[in-house]
Chains A and B, each alone.
Chain A
Amino acid sequence: MRRILAPLAALTVLLAVWHYSVFFFSVDPTVLPSPADVGSALYTGLVRGTLHVHVLATLKAAAMGFVVGCCAGVGLGVLLGEFRVGARFIFPVVVALQAMPVVAIAPLLIVWLGIGTESKVFLAAIVCFFPTFVNTFSGMHASKSELLDLYKAAGASRWLTLRDVKLPSAAHFIFTGLQIAVVLSLTGCVVGEFIAATSGLGYVIKSLAGQLDVSMMFAAIFTLSALGMACGLLVRTLHRAIVFW
């Protein structure tokens, strides 16, 4: 009960402060709209449904990027964790790539992939790849040596050791990576939509900036953060259910 009440109280206070500052200082609504304006924009967007297409577009692209990026990250992490010699060559390259700000390559994607879903899926996939890869890779070294000895002493195959010991030992790390990735997938997707898209919440935010419809921009931003929290919760729930030990 307290876990719900405390944040709710904080939120109420925040809304009150927001409302009264806008009211007392008569802030220009094209700079900062009142909570009521944002509320009505949210109503129009989500209940009447003008934002539905865009929510779906963003969710779909983020989910596709998440799946692609995480599969690649987990796959390469497991592969390099298993074949350490290969890791010595590839790991530094991956780390160097990670240092590159992803936003910087976004315009390049327009050139390569054009305007549309592919660009934003690609961006989401890239940002998902790194945290899952790094976490999976370190998770592959987290197996207790006694467990590995146990399997080795019984003459277990490499594949069985991977399945029975290494992957379950890495599971906790992998999910930590997924947890980071799921929020980043939305970020990557929105960045893609700023630059190279004709739909999605990022696209909405960018176009509304031109029309000075700040209330609807806020509505889109709040929708995004709600989506982020919901996806994070989903991954956390899966984490607890699968890594039960």
Chain B
Amino acid sequence: MNRMAQPNLWPVLHTVDTASAYKAGLSIRDVSLTYGTSRGPLRALDNLSLDVKPGEFVAVLGPSGCGKSTLLKLVSGLLSATEGEIHLKGRPVKSPRSDVGIVFQQATLLPWKTVLNNVLVPVRAMGLPVKNYRDKALDLLKLVGLEAFANHYPSELSGGMQQRVAVARGLIHDPALLLMDEPFAALDAMTREHMMIELQRIWASTHKSVLFITHSIQEAVFLADRVLIMGGRPGRVVDELVVPLERPRTVETMARKDFNDLLGHLRHVFGEKSTC
């Protein structure tokens, strides 16, 4: 692609090939969720639909409190939808499933376990033989650049390193889909940029589908193939943007005009449609 050429800046309304997404990737159809609170029912999500194709990186961008974490909990099977259906690889998601990996907003490592054992937690929790996964865990630690820290405790690691351990942990059981809930929100700007580049590299080398939740426009545009913009109260998808930037994206990408035009466009959309 010619860098000088004017890229397509305006949202291409994505026409999802529903049938194939339904079979292979993640498909969310008209999902609503109502929380029962002390002050009556609270509708957190309203008729939300989205798809993630196999190998696709989708970012969900939305302001605080618009139901992003709720969405992620639904997909991971921690909550069940009040209405609507969620399918992953053609099978309905009703309870936690072993083909989903999760990276939470905070690193949430167990401080009493070593880095290696933290990476092995999903394997242990699924009742799989931990021994068979040790080499895989070490490979993943190498992938996130922490092989030297396998036997350290989380408190001996920086915030960014802990978050990388959490990414490795999300990948240990080879899930088809990786769910990430604002994984870099707690990091400083420098570490965050570094982590974005790392994540892109990891994603490119593992071919996972990723549903990446964030409230950072820059993060969404840099990482995603497609950005879904959420509006709140109740939460729903209000707009969609296909990111036409070629990969691998680098620090230079972030300085480019087309990148920043996309940011500007999203800011505009945010101001217009996404009130929370």
Chain A interface (Cβ within 8 Å of chain B)? 144, 146-147, 149-157, 160-161, 164-165, 168, 244-245
Min distance, Cβ B181 to any Cβ of chain A, angstroms = 9
Choose one: A152, A155, A165; the contact of B110 (CB below 8 Å).
A165
- B122 in the interface (beta carbon within 8 A): yes
Within B70-118, which residues are at the interface with A (CB < 8 Å)?
73, 76-78, 95-98, 100, 102, 104-106, 108, 110-112
Residues from chain B with Cβ under 8 Å of A154 in the complex: 96, 98, 121-122, 125-126, 173
**Whose C-beta in chain B lies nearest to the C-beta of A156?**
B125
Give Cα A161–Cα B121 distance, bound, in whole angstroms: 11
Q: Smallest distance from the beta carbon of A163 to chain B beta carbons, Å?
A: 10
Q: Which 3 pairs show the lowest CB-CB distances between chains A and B?
A: A154-B125, A156-B125, A245-B111
In the bound complex, what is the Cα–Cα distance between A150 and B112 (angstroms)?
15
Q: Are A153 and B108 in contact (CB under 8 A)?
A: no
A153 close to B155 (CB less than 8 A): no
User: B125 is contacted by which of A160, A168, A244 (Cβ under 8 Å)?
Assistant: A160
> Would you call A164 and B126 a contact (CB within 8 A)?
no
Instruction: Return A100 CB to nearest CB of chain B, in Å.
Output: 34
Q: Does B267 contact A (CB under 8 A)?
A: no
B108 touches A147 (CB 8 A): yes
Say whether A155 contacts B102, CB under 8 Å: no
Provide the residues of chain A in CB contact with B153, threshold 8 Å.
245
Q: Complex: how many Å from CA A147 to CA B121?
A: 10
**Contact call B112/A155, Cβ cutoff below 8 A:** no
By secondary structure, the B interface counts as loop
CB distance from A67 to the nearest CB of B (A): 24
Nearest opposing residue in chain A for B122, CB measure: A154
Task: With both chains docked as a complex, state the minimum distance between the C-beta of A170 and any C-beta of chain B, in angstroms.
Answer: 12
Q: Which residue in B102, B106, B112, B124 is a CB contact (below 8 Å) of A153?
A: B102
Min Cβ gap A160→B in Å is 6
Determine if A153 and B96 form an interchain contact, defined as CB atoms under 8 angstroms apart: yes
Q: Are A155 and B126 in contact (CB under 8 A)?
A: yes
> Shortest Cβ distance from B67 into chain A, in angstroms?
16
| Chain B nearest Cβ from A62, distance in angstroms | 30
Q: How far is the CB of B110 from chain A (nearest CB, A)?
A: 7
In angstroms, Cα B121 to Cα A168, docked, is 15
- CA–CA, A146 to B110, complex, Å? 10
Instruction: Find chain B residues with CB under 8 A from A147 CB.
Output: 108, 110
Distance to closest chain B CB from A142 (angstroms): 13
Q: How far is the CB of B35 from chain A (nearest CB, A)?
A: 15
Over the window 47-81 of chain B, the binary record of Cβ atoms lying under 8 Å from chain A Cβ atoms (1 yes, 0 no) is: 00000000000000000000000000100111000
Q: Are A153 and B110 in contact (CB under 8 A)?
A: no
Q: Which of A151, A153, A168 contacts B76 (CB 8 A)?
A: A153
Contacts of A161 in B (CB 8 A): 125
Q: A165 to nearest B CB, angstroms?
A: 7
A-B contact pairs, 15 of them (CB 8 A): A150-B121, A150-B125, A152-B96, A153-B76, A153-B77, A154-B173, A155-B97, A156-B126, A160-B124, A164-B110, A164-B121, A165-B110, A245-B111, A245-B154, A245-B155
The contact of B108 among A146, A152, A157, A245, by CB within 8 Å, is A146
Per the bound structure, the CA–CA distance linking A149 and B126 in Å amounts to: 13
A245–B126 CA distance with the chains assembled, in angstroms: 25
State in angstroms the CA–CA spacing of A147 and B106 once bound together: 10
Residues of A within 8 A of B106 (CB): 146
Q: A144, A150, A157, A245 — which one has the most chain B CB atoms within 10 A of its CB? A: A150
Q: What residues on B are CB-neighbors of A151 within 8 Å?
A: 121, 125
Known: A150-B121, A150-B122, A155-B127. 4 other contacts (CB 8 A): A153-B76, A155-B97, A160-B124, A244-B112
Q: B111 and A149: CB pair below 8 A?
A: no
* Contact B104–A155 (Cβ < 8 Å): no
Pick from B78, B127, B154: contact of A152, CB under 8 Å: B78
Cα A149 to Cα B98 in complex, Å, equals 14
Partner of B78, one of A153, A157, A244, A245: A153
| Cα(A245)–Cα(B110), bound, Å | 10
Q: Nearest-CB distance from B33 to chain A (Å)?
A: 16
Establish whether residues A144 and B96, one from each chain, have CB atoms under 8 Å apart when the complex forms.
no
What CA separation (Å) do A164 and B173 show in the bound complex?
Answer: 19
Complex CA distance for A152 and B154, rounded to whole angstroms = 21
Given contacts A152-B78, A160-B125, contact A245 B112 (CB under 8 A): yes
List the A residue with the shortest CB-CB distance to B173: A154
Q: Which residue of B lies closest to A154 (CB)?
A: B125
A165 to B105, CA, bound (A): 18
Q: How far is the CA of A144 from the CA of B107 in the complex (A)?
A: 12
Candidates B97, B110, B122, B173; contact of A168 at CB < 8 Å: B110
